[in-house]
Amino acid sequence: MLEEMFQILDHEGNLNESLRPSVISDATLKDFYEKMLFHRMADNKILLLQRQGRAGTYASIKGQEASQVGPMHALRKQDWLVPSFRELSAMLMRGVPLKSVYLYWMGNEWGSHVPADVRVLPVSIPVGSQILHAVGLSRAAQILKKDEISVVYFGDGGTSEGDFHEGCNYAGVFKTPTIFICQNNQWAISVPRKMQTASKTIAQKADAYGFFGIQVDGNDVIAMYQATKDAVERAKSGKGPTLIEAVTFRLADHTTADDAKRYRDEKETAFWTARDPMIRMEKYLAKKNLWDEKYRQALEERFSAEIEKAVEEAENTVSKTDDMFDYLYETMPAHLTEQKKLWQS
Amino acid sequence: MAKLIMVEALNLALKQEMQKDKTVVCFGEDVGKNGGVFRVTDQLQKLYGEDRCFDTPLAESAIAGTAIGMAINGLKPVAEIQFEGFSYLTMNQMFAHGARIRNRSRGRFTCPMTLRFPFSGGIRALEHHGESPEAFFAHVPGLKVVIPSTPYEAKGLLISAIRDPDPVIFMEPKRVYRAIREEVPEEEYAIPIGKARIVQEGTDVTLIAWGAMVRECLEANAMFQQKNISAEIIDLRTISPWDYETVLQSVQKTGRCVVVHEAQKTCGFGAEISATIMEKALYSLKAPVIRVTAPDIQVPLLKLESFYIPDEHKIVAGVEQAMAG
């Protein structure tokens, strides 16, 4: 599997120049690195907040930054992102304010009220169910003749759900401009990838639905960018959907309520830690004299301050009980008006 | 004025709304070329093309889930589920997402879709083709549940459902699809969602029903009159949010109430109506609220179906019970 997957930057930091996209300059790679570092720190902050009782249960993206930063860089302003619940990096890339991300994981619905020009659906908890929404978004674009693509994320576990099958099948029939990105991080809580499907790869499932599938090194931000760029071109030109299987690894526990040491082998984690998307970027950039420890430390200081500011803004946001009632319908029905009065008295 | 059956009235509503509003689209299994197995979407594909009226793969979760995505992105989808027994497959999408996207995002994303399907029995159909799941949908905050009882009602209510900014579950009593033919105006009209209809005024007992049971109550009326019972018959029209004001006013006047529904007794919507009347009009009641319903069993196949469904006789017995207490 690992030998066949599409790769441009290997885990030692060697970049295959013959496959390098012309638009990906070293400056762009520095930018990718900075973004991944910021996302890793922003993600880690929530783990700390949860341990302190300042946030609820959280699903960390640690190790999966490249499979989110790369693809999002290939999208246009008008494209949609449909997340599952492990896409903090992708959401930030698409313009969701960090404060909003923190609000959500602190348990405030206003976190999902993204700005009017940000096309990111809320976190979806029921596994795989969001796949159909992404297909619907892009079907609407198709019908209304709007040039918009939707990208939906799900994990290896998600590919076992019926909605994955129904969504891919429907998208194939109508050739909708949908990009399906499976973050195959090898684990669905404690159930390993080989128990989700007997299929040799997840990417090949696209064949069954009549569209293009590709298995990519998910920790290679450049390959993830290129695969998504190709998928965007495919969708734009009416050639239909793409399934991208990002082979990566969930470095953290499933959520803050899980303990991966109960079911995972230290050797496996060590293998994948060496393949961390950030380490290979540091190695490449260092070879080009574009990275050193001082640079990283300076970034960490700057990012720390930004993160603290976002946490403070989120924690200063008050939750109103009115909000529980006011958004069920466009016009509040009589029984809810009565209940709201009663419950608030 | 043309006299239409319910199927034709629904078709007319769709035709006119699709003409008026280019974002209205309809789809489902056999909806496009075939015009729907009950012909509700007949000719719409010819009129408006395959982009606006189309067949989908055989996948109910996809029909509902893609409708949600479409509704978020600028369309007003009218999604058809072929039979009520298959509406269960839409429940995860409708309960977990359709009902919630507005509140979950505090209004940033909304879901102006209609999910419509034939329901209820009395036509000697296969299993899963004669049941009444309205209570399941009514229990979910964020959904609306609408049930027409006649062709005239069907057109006006479907127009309201299509125009509603929130997800509406529109359940069509298939027994009435072709059984009633009445005048239906050619011009557009919308019957408000959330408002019940007093079909017949009376003074002795309030009879509440919806869908196919409204006609059964009207037919039972001949027997009430023989017994000198003046019944006020209410067509609830909307199960969620329901018009309890109209019901309470009626019960305050008559002092007696009978709810008739085809769905099973336990946790059927009659239980909600009964509890509300008890809470808000207990001292107006001269007798307990009577529920005339099906028993708590699965809908039988055709051989035993007539023993299951409330009919005129069961309705009269219920009314007599209410009058006696």
In this structure, what is the dihedral angle of CA atoms A82, A85, A90, A94, given to the nearest 10 degrees?
A: 50
Cβ-Cβ contacts under 8 Å, A110 against chain B: 106
Could you give the CA distance from residue B284 to residue B105 in angstroms, rounded to a whole number?
Answer: 43
- pLDDT, tens digit, 9 for 90 and up, residues A276-298: 999 999 999 999 999 999 999 99
A contacts of B57 (beta carbons < 8 Å)? 166, 169-170, 173
Q: Is B70 on the interface with A (CB under 8 A)?
A: yes
Token pair of B49 as six digits: 């093309």
Other C-beta atoms closer than 10 Å to the C-beta of A34 total 17
Q: Using 50, 70 and 90 to split pLDDT, how confident is the model at A300?
A: very high
In this structure, are residues B27 and A139 in contact, taking their beta carbons and an 8 Å threshold?
Answer: no
Rounded Cα gap, residues B193 and B28, in angstroms: 24
* Nearest CA among A107, A172, A175 for reference residue A141: A175
Task: Please check the confidence at residue B307 and state whether its pLDDT lies above 60.
Answer: yes
For range A229-255, the mean pLDDT: 98
- B106/A110 Cβ within 8 A: yes
Inter-residue long-range contacts of B307-311, CB under 8 Å, 24+ positions, other chains counted: B308/B121, B309/B121, B309/B122, B309/B262, B310/B213, B310/B216, B310/B260, B310/B261, B310/B262, B311/B216
Report d(CA B190, CA B16) in Å as an integer: 12
> What is the distance in angstroms between the Cα of A240 and the nearest Cα belonging to chain B?
16
Q: How far apart are the CA of B162 and the nearest CA of chain A, in angstroms?
A: 14
Write down the mean pLDDT value for chain A. 97
Mean pLDDT over each residue of chain B, to the nearest integer: 98
What tokens does B240 get? Answer: 């969620």
Q: How far is CA B183 from the centre of its chain?
A: 20
Q: Which two tokens stand for residue A226?
A: 């290129």
Instruction: Indicate if the pLDDT at residue A136 is higher than 70.
Output: yes
> What is the per-residue pLDDT across B97-147, written as a single tens digit (0 to 9) for each?
999 999 999 999 999 999 999 999 999 999 999 999 999 999 999 999 999
Q: Determine how many CB atoms are found less than 10 A away from the CB of residue B124.
A: 12
Do residue A334 and residue B110 have CB atoms under 8 angstroms apart? no
List residues of A with catalytic annotation.
250, 254, 263
Question: pTM of the entire structure?
Answer: 0.98
Q: CA–CA distance from B108 to each of A84, A132, A147, B35, B102 (Å)?
A: 18, 19, 21, 35, 7
List CB contacts (< 8 A) between B242 and chain A.
Answer: 335
Q: Are residues B196 and B236 in contact, defined by beta-carbon separation less than 8 angstroms?
A: yes
User: Is the previous residue joined to B241 through a cis bond, with omega within 30 degrees of 0?
Assistant: yes
pLDDT digits (tens, 9 = 90+) for A148-197: 999 999 999 999 999 999 999 999 999 999 999 999 999 999 999 999 99
Query: What percent of chain B has a predicted confidence (pLDDT) above 90?
Result: 100
Is B129 an active-site residue?
yes
Q: Where do the H-state alpha helices sit in B82-150? A: 91-93, 101-104, 134-138
Using an 8 Å Cβ cutoff, are B199 and B252 in contact? Answer: no
**Which of B106, B110, B166, B248 has the most A C-beta neighbours within 10 Å, making it the best mutation to test the interface with A?**
B106
Return the residue matching tokens 């050739």.
A175
The token pair that represents A45 in the structure block = 């902050």
Catalytic residue among B128, B129, B139, B261: B129
As given in the structure block, the two tokens for residue B210 are 């919806």
Instruction: Count CA within 13 A, CB hemisphere, residue A53.
Output: 0
| Six-digit token string for A151 | 């990208």
Chain A's closest residue to B68, CA to CA, is A133
In the three-class reduction of DSSP (H, G, I as helix; E, B as strand; rest coil), residue B129 is classed as: coil
Tell me the three-class secondary structure of chain B, residue by residue: CCEECHHHHHHHHHHHHHHHCCCEEEEECCCCCCCCCCCCCCCHHHHHCCCCEEECCCCHHHHHHHHHHHHHCCCEEEEECCCHHHHHHHHHHHHHHHCCHHHHCCCCCCCCCEEEEEECCCCCCCCCCCCCCHHHHHCCCCCEEECCCCHHHHHHHHHHHHHCCCCEEEEEEHHHCCCCCEECCCCCCCCCCCCCEEEECCCCEEEEECCHHHHHHHHHHHHHHHCCCCEEEEECCEEECCCHHHHHHHHHHHCCEEEEEEEECCCCHHHHHHHHHHHHHHHHCCCCCEEEEECCCCCCCHHHHHHHCCCHHHHHHHHHHHHHC
Cβ neighbours of A144 (radius 10 Å): 16
The predicted-structure confidence for A31-68, as pLDDT tens digits, reads as follows: 999 999 999 999 999 999 999 999 999 999 999 999 99
Q: What are phi and psi of B175, to 5 degrees?
A: -65, -25
pLDDT at residue number B247: 98
Listed by number, the residues of chain B in 225-244 with a beta carbon closer than 8 Å to a beta carbon of chain A are 241-242, 244
**How many C-alpha atoms does B244 have within 13 Å on its Cβ side?**
19
Predicted confidence at residue A237, as pLDDT, reads 96
Test A334 with B56 for CB contact under 8 angstroms.
Answer: no
pLDDT at residue number A3: 57
Residues 202-241 of A with CB under 8 A from B: none
Q: Terminus-to-terminus CA distance in chain A, angstroms?
A: 61
* CA–CA distance, A174 with A162 (Å, rounded to integer): 18
Instruction: Say if residues B205 and B258 touch (Cβ distance below 8 Å).
Output: yes
Which ranges in B97-205 belong to alpha helices (H)? 101-104, 134-138, 151-163
Cβ distance B322 to B314 under 8 Å? no
Whether B70 and A295 have beta carbons less than 8 Å apart is answered as: no
Contact B20, B48 (CB under 8 A): no
Is A110 at the interface with chain B, CB within 8 A? Answer: yes
Which residues face A120 on adjacent strands?
Answer: A81
- Helix, strand, coil % in chain B, rounded to nearest 5: 40, 20, 40
Distance CA B111, CA A182 (A): 26
- CB count in 10 Å sphere of residue B43: 13
Cα–Cα dist A67/A219, whole Å: 6
Q: Do A129 and B65 touch (CB under 8 A)?
A: yes
CA atoms within a 13 Å half-sphere pointing along the CA-CB vector of B140: 24
- Asked if the model's pLDDT at residue A1 lies above 50, the reply is no
Instruction: Give the DSSP letter string of A13-60.
Output: S-B-TTT--TT--HHHHHHHHHHHHHHHHHHHHHHHHHHTTSS-----
Using an 8 Å Cβ cutoff, are A208 and A145 in contact?
no
Work out the end-to-end distance of chain B between its first and last CA atoms, rounded to an integer number of angstroms.
45
> Can you give the length of chain B in residues?
325
- The percentage of chain A sitting over the pLDDT mark of 70, rounded to a whole number, equals 99
B62: chain A residues, CB-CB within 8 Å: 132, 135, 163, 166-167, 169-170
In three-state secondary structure terms, A151 is strand
Average pLDDT over residues B2-8: 98
Q: What is the DSSP string of A104-128?
A: HHTT-GGGG---TT--BPPP--STT
What Rg do the C-alpha atoms of chain A give, in angstroms? 20
How many secondary structure helices (H) and strands (E) does chain A include? Answer: 13, 7
